[in-house]
Structure 1
Amino acid sequence: MKTLADPANSLTRNLAAIRTRFQVSEGFPPAVLAAAEAAARRAPTEHVDRTGRHFVTLDPASATDLDQAFAIEPSGADLLLHYAIADVAWFVADGDPLDLEAWRRGTTLYLPDGKASLYPPALSEAAASLLPDGPRPAVIFTVRVAPDGAVHLDGAERAIIRSAAKLAYDSVRDADLPAGFVELTARLQAAENRRGAARVDPPEQEVAARPGGGFELVFRPRLLSEERNAALSLAANMAIADALRAHQTGLFRVMAEPDAHAIGRLRQTAVAFGLRWPPAAPLAQFEATLDGSNPKQAAFMLAVRRAGQGASYQPFQQGVVPWHAAVAATYAHATAPLRRLADRYVIRATLAVTNGQPVPEGVTEAFAKLPEVMARADAIGGQIDRAVIDLAEAVMLQGREGEDFAAVVTDADDRGARIQLRDFPVVARLAMAGAEPGDAITVRLVAADPEHQRLTFERAS
């Protein structure tokens, strides 16, 4: 949802109101900008030279805030993933203006007309970004990937790297990538399948003009290159989480399974889209059959994302296994420090434990505070995503007031019914009594209001 595109600028007129409502920062205070300019000039002094290693990046073509670069080499039957992550902590000191502003923001916020970055561009899109225009300081995590896809963190070091190429998802060829990339990602995918992971990455939504006038929401399926690249990040984050837990420290990303109520609602959503979900098949098994290039299956993937109980952060607790249900493993966030505050501290802890040093006291203290800060930032990001989708849905259906639409009731309570339109990726509420999940109904669009991001339906039959 965060990548919803608006090439025709159909949403622009109302996005400013969303930015105002959620107090999305338009820029940075002068003191923070000055601190970023000064930090960008800081020369690395604690980094080994790894500029001879062939690193590349793989991102959207337009991206300039590049957190990750990678190189791969064989080690017997294993493959070594050298995963270089932007060394944000080299530029940002505890308690300085950059640090304080990052704690206020928590994450980078995304809207179709631009983002509100966690750090100023002098860092996030220049000095700290792993762009191929010169050497950059990084933290390299060396992850050993066994033939069965099992991962282990062999080490971590601060290093100077030089990216050889900025590769793009939509144009990269296998020949452009390091030797072993395809085999490594295949191993990781096979291991994920064996674990029964239920990671759901819905296709990007875009606003497109209809030939006869008006707009529609369409899905751009995720490319194979995106899926493979995500596997690298997942492998590193799992290996890092295991290393931190073994040293009885860390901050973990956790998520529970969807509850029975959510599963029931998803089954009704599948009915709405005409998808056959075998009664005995668990959600993860059904998800594995979905095709993001099919609009209705893509819409169901988005419904799964919305139905989850949400992920959160959890510091290490003695005797507690931090579990992420979608990943089906212990998992940490460490690979996007330019965009997430928590990653900077996880990286610092990992550097310490892998090099036989104590975790800095400030990092341990941060682990206790970060769950609340990140929860607030994630909540704001989620609310913005929902408001943008609501806006896009209202733009899509504007001008179709009075039309009837087939729908299925996915949930009902004392406030009325939640409905899923059968032919559009639209979820709405309907004030009606006596509705039961699974009821097939026809609804009439009363109003489509982009200004207030609102759709109003009434029951037609």
Structure 2
Amino acid sequence: MKSLSDPARALANGLAAIRREFQVPASFPPEVLNAAERAATKPLTEHVDRTDRPFVTLDPASSTDLDQAFAIDRSGADLLLHYAIADVAWFVDDGGPIDAEAWRRGETLYLPDGKAGLYPPILSENVASLLPAGPRPAVIFTVRVDPDGDVRLDGAERAIIRSRAKLAYDNVRNEDLPHGFVELAARIAIAEQKRGASRIDPPEQEVARRGDGFALVFRPRLDSEIRNAALSLAANLAVADTLFAHQTGLYRVMPEPDERAVRRLRFTARAFAVVWPETMPLDIFEQGLNSADPKHAALMLAIRRAGGGAAYAPLTPGIVPWHSAMAARYAHATAPLRRLADRYVVRATLAVANGRPVADADTAAFETLPPVMARADALAAQIDRAVIDLAEAVMLDGKAGRSFSAVVTDADERGARIQLCDFPVVARIAGDDLAPGDTLDVTLTEADPERRTIRFDRNG
């Protein structure tokens, strides 16, 4: 953690500037809010009553847009995960004002001082959110998990549920959770190892409020959060297999990091003094990283970015959609309040699981969603990068003239990319004589929070 005092409001003002620069919406147009008010009163006429099932939610304590709730049963040696997904589609008419605005946004945007939701709060933080305040509409995926962690979708239905508790990652106890929660997560982890998945869940680097100031932190992933992610993974894998079997769907795909990216990662590891044996492949190395170690955490983030990122792709005849980190077919279906694409994947899964054809609107959406989601993902990534750039500039402000040790992680016609050894900071310096792996000392010559820039020169 790097504490960032903000007496001159450099961070606060910088965050406001980022919102203006990237045109982060502050609210919704009146016609969208009016449509959401009307939609919130829509009666639930196609949902079976499952309020007797003991669902709970598990999220960050402050979350109010709750996409998932879960209950777990046993079926012989198998575990049955009843995974309830917020039925936002019930409230959104295709082509209506809410739908059109969601297509413009693509996903919820998060900043340290607040979020810009995909849907109006009356839906995303009220009637469509799986809060324990009362009955809520959901689509329940029943996922069968066998002792080896292999998953299969047993069914999907629209249902009314009632969450028993809003549990939080940072204070949940095992006894608060459905019996079988820990075992189910362990089964999924075993299956990942068996198929050679290299999925990693690094802690999130973020700017967090701390009293009157801020801090640049790696938010550690707690055991409860990692196990909860396993439930979502199980559902998304089962959905992907179901849709693929019916030759439809929208998938997350990701290529393997190329040779140059792996070489750059090795130099990044060297910068952090993390031992990576020359003969050890990336997928084995990353499984040994400890997210509680800040240097490992920074390296995990670099590994996640090295493959060029995941993308959305509709099913293409003759091509098996593949996600290299998952080592499997994979779809996004479990966060429809926060991602536009999930709403259509949920609807398609509900159709095929009940022997109905996928609606033409959903099939068409699978073809048109990839560029929309790519644009939304890119905007979210740009905002995240801008926030980190701002935090780094504030953190280094006033340190001009100070020397830092660094390692070159990459070099091209634009100069060299360096990783500071003692700070999670990446920067560029001029120099056509530098090669990846070179170690050097650099001097900070500029840190400008207003422009979100930092600049270093080589010593000597």
Q: After TM superposition, is the score higher than 0.5?
A: yes
> CA contact under 8 A between 1:216 and 1:397: conserved in structure 2?
no
* Structure 2 partner of 1:225: 224
Distance 2:84 2:209 in 1: 40
1:110 is displaced (CA, Å) by 0.8
Q: Deviations over 1:354-397 (max 9, x none)?
A: 10001001110111100011011111111111111111111111
Are 1:378 and 2:377 an aligned pair? yes
Q: Assess if the C-alpha contact under 8 Å between 1:7 and 1:207 holds in 2.
A: no
Per-residue CA distance 1:238-276 (angstroms, 9 max, x = gap): 000000000000000000011111111000000000011
In the alignment, residue 81 of structure 2 is paired with which amino acid? L
Given that residues 85 and 138 in structure 1 are in contact (C-alpha distance below 8 angstroms), is that contact kept between their aligned partners in structure 2?
yes
What residue in structure 1 maps to residue 111 of structure 2? 111
Structure 1 counterpart of 2:450: 451
The alignment status of 1:152 with 2:152, answered yes or no, reads yes
Give the distance between the partners of 1:407 and 1:90, measured in 2 at CA.
53
Deviation for aligned residue 1:209: 10
What is the CA distance between 1:219 and its match in structure 2?
2.0
Say whether the 8 Å CA contact 2:348–2:359 is kept in structure 1: yes
- Letter aligned with residue 386 of structure 1: R
* Native 8 Å contact 2:145 2:151 kept in 1: yes
Tell me the equivalent position of 1:74.
Answer: 74
- Paired residues for 1:171-250 under 5 Å: 171-207=171-207, 217-250=216-249
Distance 1:414 1:194 in 2: 42
Q: How far 1:307 sits from its partner (Å)?
A: 2.1
Q: C-alpha separation between the residues in 2 aligned to 1:31 and 1:281? A: 57
Pairing of 1:92-171 with structure 2 (within 5 A)? 92-171=92-171
Q: Partner amino acid for 1:120?
A: P
Q: Which amino acid aligns with 1:399?
A: G
> Which residue type is aligned with residue 341 of structure 1?
L
Whole-angstrom distance in 1 between the partners of 2:219 and 2:196: 26
Partner of residue 262, structure 1: 261
3-state SS of paired residue (1:322)? coil
Cα deviation, residue 6, structure 1: 8.2
Q: Which runs of structure 2 are paired with 1:308-387 in the superposition (5 Å)? A: 308-387=307-386
Deviation beyond 4 Å, 4+ runs, structure 1: 4-10, 206-210
Who is 2:425 aligned against?
A: 426
Q: What is the CA distance between 1:228 and its match in structure 2?
A: 0.4
State the AA in 2 paired with 1:220: R
Gaps of 5+ in 1: none
The farther-off stretch of 284-293 and 403-412 is 284-293
Q: 1:20 matched to which residue of 2? A: 20
Residues 216 and 396 of structure 1 are in contact (CA less than 8 Å); yes or no, is this contact kept in structure 2?
Answer: no
Q: How many residues align?
A: 455
Q: CA deviation at 1:218?
A: 3.2
Q: Which residue of 2 aligns with 1:286?
A: 285
Separation (CA, whole Å) in 1 of partners of 2:394 and 2:200: 26
Q: What is the deviation of 1:189?
A: 0.8
Q: Distance in 2 between matches of 1:5 and 1:152?
A: 46
Contact 1:6–1:207 (CA under 8 A) maintained in structure 2: no
TM-superposed CA distance for 1:196, in Å, is 1.9
Report the Cα offset of residue 140 of structure 1. 0.1
Deviation at residue 302 of structure 1 after TM alignment:
1.6
**What amino acid is the match of 1:25?**
P
Q: Percent identity?
A: 70
Q: d(CA) in 1 for partners of 2:279 and 2:62?
A: 43
Shift of 1:220: 2.8
1:220–1:293 Cα contact (<8 Å) kept: no
Letter in 1 for 2:24: V
CA change 1:337–1:207 in 2 (3 A) is: closer
Look up the equivalent residue of 1:257 and give its one-letter code.
Answer: E
Q: Is the 8 A contact 1:237 1:334 kept in 2?
A: yes
In structure 1, give the amino acid aligned to 2:382.
Answer: Q
Supply the distance in 2 between the matched residues of 1:209 and 1:43 (Cα, whole angstroms): 40
Letter in 2 for 1:265: R
| Letter aligned with residue 219 of structure 1 | F
Decide which moves more: 261-270 or 199-208.
199-208
Change (3 A) 1:325 1:7: farther
Is the alpha carbon distance of 1:387 and 1:242 closer, same or farther for their aligned partners in structure 2, counting shifts above 3 Å?
same
Flag structure 2 segments of 5+ consecutive residues without an equivalent: none
CA RMSD of aligned residues (A): 1.7
Alpha-carbon offset, residue 399 of structure 1:
1.1
Residues 65, 337 of structure 2: 8 Å contact kept: yes
1: distance between equivalents of 2:362 and 2:62?
33
Instruction: Report the residue type matching 1:382 in the other structure.
Output: A
Code of the aligned partner of 2:450: E
TM-score (norm 2): 0.96
Deviation by residue 1:144-192 (Cα, 9 ceiling, x = unmatched) = 0000000000010000000000000000000000001011001001111
Q: Distance in 2 between matches of 1:224 and 1:436?
A: 40
* Shift of residue 295, structure 1, vs aligned partner: 1.2
SS for the counterpart of 2:450 is helix
Name the amino acid aligned to 2:106.
G
Q: Secondary structure at the match of 1:432?
A: coil
CA distance in 1, matches of 2:236, 2:149: 14
Q: Which residue in the other structure is 2:401 paired with?
A: 402
Cα deviation per residue 1:22-52 (whole Å; 9 max; x = unaligned)? 1111110000000111111111000000000
Conserved? CA contact 1:5–1:207, under 8 Å: no
CA contact (8 A) 1:108 1:115 kept: yes
CA deviation profile, 1:123-161 (whole Å, cap 9, x unmatched)? 000000000010000000000000000000001000000
2:270 corresponding residue in structure 1: 271
Provide the residue aligned with 1:62 in structure 2: 62
Q: Which residue matches 1:439?
A: 438
Q: SS at the partner of 1:424?
A: coil
Matched, 1:84 2:84: yes
For residue 195 of structure 1, report the CA deviation from its aligned partner: 1.8
Following superposition, the deviation at residue 193 of structure 1 comes to: 1.6
Q: How many Å separate the matches in 2 of 1:413 and 1:318? A: 38
